[in-house]
Structure 1
Amino acid sequence: MVQSAVLGFPRIGAFRELKKNTEAYWNGKISADQLLAVGKEIRAHNWKLQKDAGVDIIPSNDFSFYDQVLDLSLLFNVIPDRYTKYNLPSLDTYFAMARGLQRKAAENSKAVDVPALEMVKWFDSNYHYVRPTFSHSTEFKLIGSKPIDEYLEAKAQGIETRPVILGPVSYLFLGKPDKDSLDLEPIALLKSLLPVYIQLLKKLAAAGAKEVQVDEPTLVLDMPKKVQAAFKTAYDAFAAEEGLPELILTTYFGDVRPNLSAIKGLKVAGFHFDFVRDPEQLEKVASILGDKQTLSVGVVDGRNIWKNDFAASIALVKKAIKKIGADRVIVATASSLLHTPVDLTNEKKLDSEIKDWFSFATQKLDEVVTIANAISGKDVSEKLAANALSIKNRKEHEINNDAAVQKRTSGIDDAMATRSSPFPKRLAVQKGEFHLPLFPTTTIGSFPQTKDIRVMRSKFTKGTISEEEYTNFIKKEIKGVVDFQEKVGLDVLVHGEPERNDMVQYFGERLKGFAFTTNGWVQSYGSRYVRPPIIVGDVSRPAPMTVKTSVYAQSLTEKPMKGMLTGPITILRWSFPRNDVPQKTQALQLSLALRDEVQDLESAGIHVIQVDEPALREGLPLRAGAERNDYLKWAAESFRVATSGVKDTTQIHSHFCYSDLDPNHIKALDADVVSIEFSKKDDANYIQEFANYPNHIGLGLFDIHSPRVPSKEEFIARIGEIMKSYPAEKFWCNPDCGLKTRKWEETTASLTNMVAAAKYYREKYAKKD
């Protein structure tokens, strides 16, 4: 009997229960005990859902109030001193590390002012993790019991689970040295970390856990030799201990073959590999297995929403069985289902024909079980036949075969991806066009999305107010934002995006070839959830999408008003893309739609246009080589096709955030001005990397994911550090990212202080002249 396994399940709740209650706790509306109770309810629901679906191996400790990597840092006492000196409750320390904390002194407490830890993308997904931060003074110790508690919770419910923990090598490799310990290599801390892992594993065994899923996803990355060697050190240490549960070493998101030598011969009970991302690795990974080690075959996609092709998955599992035998094979999700929406049955408005092509996390449980049952000889013929028909219907549907779009895409040439003049010539023209001061100030695009905005959008969507009422409301909001920016003294303005629900969804709703969900929420980080659009067919733009709004905003001010667009790679990466055509094809189709919009904006008098590409780095293949080089070429080409059809007088901006960026990748876009998330970066070398960037750049000066407000003096100090390496004449002042998640009081204070710091440096450099 072949078993079925799930590596992790979404923790947000089917209707975003976790978000609502977490934010209520942050706002002081519910207690810590009430928040913890909500978490317990979600966990219980998820475990029962999986048990009722017939899943054999159900995960625990896959739940988190913010981020699973941060959970481990708290559990292992990897808490920088700046968070411990306030003696906050454990939960508040946790959230302070995640999002910063700034609180005035009260009668029973002292003032708190601490920024958040750095947050970066989880491999090539749109999920963000809080990066572990180590120092020479880090003292690993077990200071909590979350994995044990959650295992016992499930056990009390009558459900046996397999606890999930991030493995020691990946945990260290994904971390970084703190700013006072920059000479520290995190992997050097392995021997001092292992006793704490062993202590945790023994406690899990004592609680009754027979098996533990140990995630080592860094095995799909390029790793130095010393990191590869760390696997033997770690897992030999585990094997030498008595009383530990059996370990399933788990990796996902790519090809593990270049690192197979690092894990060959490890004394673990079994391995899990992702065969959705790379089915070709089966033969090689099967060859490293010992005679008794199991192979967990990841065939159900944990990253996309397309229905599984049962015939293909069953064929691959049978191939694995032929190599090692049915008694050692487990059918599993390729990765955690964290990256997929919770339940397709909650979608009442999707076209029924298109809906039949999809599978969300809850439906993927049935897919895993069905494949395992088919392999085990159970009668699932009706499900297999229905699945085959669904796959066939999707393939033949007309939405995938737009001849006009395909012809236009095939006609893209180098001229379409090249500005008419090089940057130095454009810069000279733009100086005469805009007359901007030194240290020009701007924002990334969005302003706070208030409750009033959300309520009016909901009313309009439901049809309880007219289009005229909604349009007038949006115009009033735009005018308020423009007036605010004029008052604060910003130099290049934005309209604030009150009409936009999301920077990708908004455009997807106006493009042909997309489908949308009502409750298809996916966690991006913390309480920030997104509803990715679904690219279901060939993409085109039926009509202008932003021109009227941008023209209205420009009419309210003499200052330059940015037209705000989301770039082709980010729309692609932050949607659920098609899996039946190359991503390059989808990106180029998007670039043509955006090219039309950029040219329409220019024709309408908008001469600063920002095309954001925060997902550029996210799409980068995880390993160096031909695939990565090819991606970088077509990703940059897609951006340039979208933006190169304008005159020299039009200034093209772009924005990037929460990734380890390479200046060469950004240089290839040939944008006139770029803005980059920077406020959480502690490494001075990061500034130096961009010192020779040829075009203009704004390194983000404050963290928009934190309610904390930097003072004018802090902004001055931050800019001063940058000016040690970066030429003043090229530098722009801006936040890390858009301000939609912030409150107005935080926004007002932060931007006021940022503008004051810019003026300080203008005066300083004017005196030098």
Structure 2
Amino acid sequence: MKNLLPVCSAGSLPKPAWLAQPETLWSPWKLEGEALVEGKQDALLLSLQDQLRAGVDIVSDGEQSRQHFVTTFIEHLSGVDFENRKTVRIRNRYDASVPVVVDAVARTKSVFVDDARFLRKHTNQPIKWALPGPMTMIDTLYDAHYQSREKLAWEFAGILNQEAKELEAAGVDIIQFDEPAFNVFFDEVNDWGIAALERAIEGLKCETAVHICYGYGIKANTDWKKTLGAEWRQYEAVFPKLQQSNIDLISLECHNSRVPMELIELLRGKKVMVGAIDVANNAIETPEEVANTLRKALQFVDADKLYPCTNCGMAPLSRQIASGKLAALSAGAQIVRDELGR
């Protein structure tokens, strides 16, 4: 990346009101058929313009084509029943009605590749694309076929690898896997979760990232955070093994969280996407607040490996607030760039 401290977002950005209900997480589409295909592309271009206007260096589709960060991918696979759903506990935090794995899972067609080609056609900026990680996928459905979290995760890892290779061929520069489950199931992460993630990136030449956060600003997540005490040290359980992995970038939550900044030291040598924007409230950070978070992070990560980022996706926020937060992120990064230049 040409720019020092290249700015990016963790993932989702708000959708326009004509595509889905604003300020609502995982809102259903308002369009269907060809109108939906066209609507998603229009929203993607709007999202791209918003990012460029805000000064984002590494752009994404803003997840305009994903309704849900996991199930939208699973909807395209065979072997999963979406009609007869079951209720499961997600990340030991909240109950959700989820699809059921009833047979061997397989990817019969690409999921996001056409969208990625469309975005590539409209920008020369580096592109980052988000996919769900294997462990978070298995935590977001009911398995009536494999009866083994690990076995299903390995199946999903192979499927994700097929999609990732096609995204790379479509011109994506960074492929990110969303693994909030890595902050919960520590034994499994270290036993086979990181290994499954490495299976998902096998053979890729583009850069790869894993996004591990404490979740969107929904009540189930904010209530859970209240139980975590004065210091959130969950990252400590998984960072040492991630530091040894083949993943290039680690995306984590910092601003307004109780994550001790020195935990980043455990990733020394990796590129780190430092969450300097809080997505769980509507207050737009000042550039100086962003700069302050980045300065603290620079004690533990080299400047050429620090990527200013958001804590998580911003889908539940208004477009105006999300744009303001992205602009603050860029302005804060510029303050620190100027200081480093001196």
TM-score range, shorter chain: 0.7 to 0.9
| TM-score, structure 1 normalization | 0.39
| TM-score, structure 2 normalization | 0.84
The aligned residue for residue 211 of structure 2 is 655
The aligned residue for residue 644 of structure 1 is 202
1:677 and 2:242 are equivalent in the alignment: no
Alignment of 1:695-710 (within 5 A): 695-710=270-285
State the secondary structure of the residue aligned to 2:135: helix
Deviation, structure 1 residue 605: 2.1
* Structural RMSD (CA): 2.5
The aligned residue for residue 12 of structure 2 is 446
The aligned residue for residue 759 of structure 1 is 334
Deviation, structure 1 residue 667: 2.2
Deviation, structure 1 residue 521: 7.5
More helix by share: 1
Deviation, structure 1 residue 459: 4.5
Distance in 2 of aligned mates of 1:492 and 1:720:
21
Distance in 2 of aligned mates of 1:705 and 1:524:
19
Distance 1:575 1:677, change over 3 A: farther
Distance in 2 of aligned mates of 1:698 and 1:664:
16
Distance in 2 of aligned mates of 1:459 and 1:713:
39
Distance in 2 of aligned mates of 1:646 and 1:657:
24
Alignment of 1:171-250 (within 5 A): none
Distance 1:750 1:586, change over 3 A: same
Alignment of 1:260-339 (within 5 A): none
Deviation, structure 1 residue 565: 0.9
Contact persistence 2:86–2:100 (CA under 8 A): no
The aligned residue for residue 297 of structure 1 is none
Distance in 2 of aligned mates of 1:445 and 1:682:
21
Deviation, structure 1 residue 536: 2.6
Distance 1:475 1:518, change over 3 A: farther
Alignment of 1:146-545 (within 5 A): 435-454=1-20, 458-460=29-31, 465=32, 467-516=33-82, 531-545=97-111
1:719 and 2:294 are equivalent in the alignment: yes
Deviation, structure 1 residue 748: 1.3
Contact persistence 2:182–2:212 (CA under 8 A): yes
Contact persistence 2:8–2:57 (CA under 8 A): yes
From 583, 593, 604, the equivalent of 2:159 is: 593
State the secondary structure of the residue aligned to 2:182: coil
Aligned positions, number? 314
Give the unaligned 5+ runs of structure 1. Answer: 1-434, 621-627
From 688, 700, 710, the equivalent of 2:262 is: 688
State the secondary structure of the residue aligned to 2:180: coil
1:583 and 2:149 are equivalent in the alignment: yes
Alignment of 1:109-128 (within 5 A): none
Distance 1:639 1:668, change over 3 A: farther
Deviation, structure 1 residue 504: 0.9
CA offset digits 1:395-454 (Å, max 9, x no partner): xxxxxxxxxxxxxxxxxxxxxxxxxxxxxxxxxxxxxxxx33111100012111344222
The aligned residue for residue 664 of structure 1 is 240
Deviation, structure 1 residue 520: 6.6
Distance in 2 of aligned mates of 1:537 and 1:589:
12
State the secondary structure of the residue aligned to 1:706: coil
Q: Aligned partner of 1:687: which letter? A: M
Distance in 2 of aligned mates of 1:454 and 1:529:
23
Distance 1:523 1:454, change over 3 A: farther
Contact persistence 1:440–1:491 (CA under 8 A): yes
Distance in 2 of aligned mates of 1:534 and 1:518:
7
Deviation, structure 1 residue 604: 2.1
The aligned residue for residue 376 of structure 1 is none
Q: Aligned partner of 1:763: which letter? A: D
Distance in 2 of aligned mates of 1:700 and 1:485:
16
Distance in 2 of aligned mates of 1:757 and 1:529:
38
Identical residues among aligned pairs (%): 21
Distance in 2 of aligned mates of 1:478 and 1:665:
35
Distance in 1 of aligned mates of 2:277 and 2:87:
27
State the secondary structure of the residue aligned to 2:191: helix
State the secondary structure of the residue aligned to 1:558: coil
CA offset digits 1:523-563 (Å, max 9, x no partner): 879xx985433223321111111100011011111101122
Distance in 1 of aligned mates of 2:161 and 2:59:
22
CA offset digits 1:448-481 (Å, max 9, x no partner): 1344222695454xxxx4x221111111100001
CA offset digits 1:271-296 (Å, max 9, x no partner): xxxxxxxxxxxxxxxxxxxxxxxxxx
State the secondary structure of the residue aligned to 1:676: strand
Contact persistence 1:457–1:470 (CA under 8 A): no
Distance 1:529 1:453, change over 3 A: farther
Contact persistence 1:457–1:499 (CA under 8 A): no
1:741 and 2:286 are equivalent in the alignment: no
Alignment of 1:539-578 (within 5 A): 539-578=105-144
Deviation, structure 1 residue 495: 0.5
Contact persistence 2:78–2:106 (CA under 8 A): yes
Contact persistence 1:564–1:609 (CA under 8 A): yes
Give the unaligned 5+ runs of structure 2. Answer: 22-26, 215-231
Distance in 2 of aligned mates of 1:634 and 1:611:
16
Deviation, structure 1 residue 646: 1.2
Higher-RCO chain (CA-CA 8 Å, sequence separation at least 6) = 2
More strand by share: 2
Distance in 2 of aligned mates of 1:752 and 1:518:
43
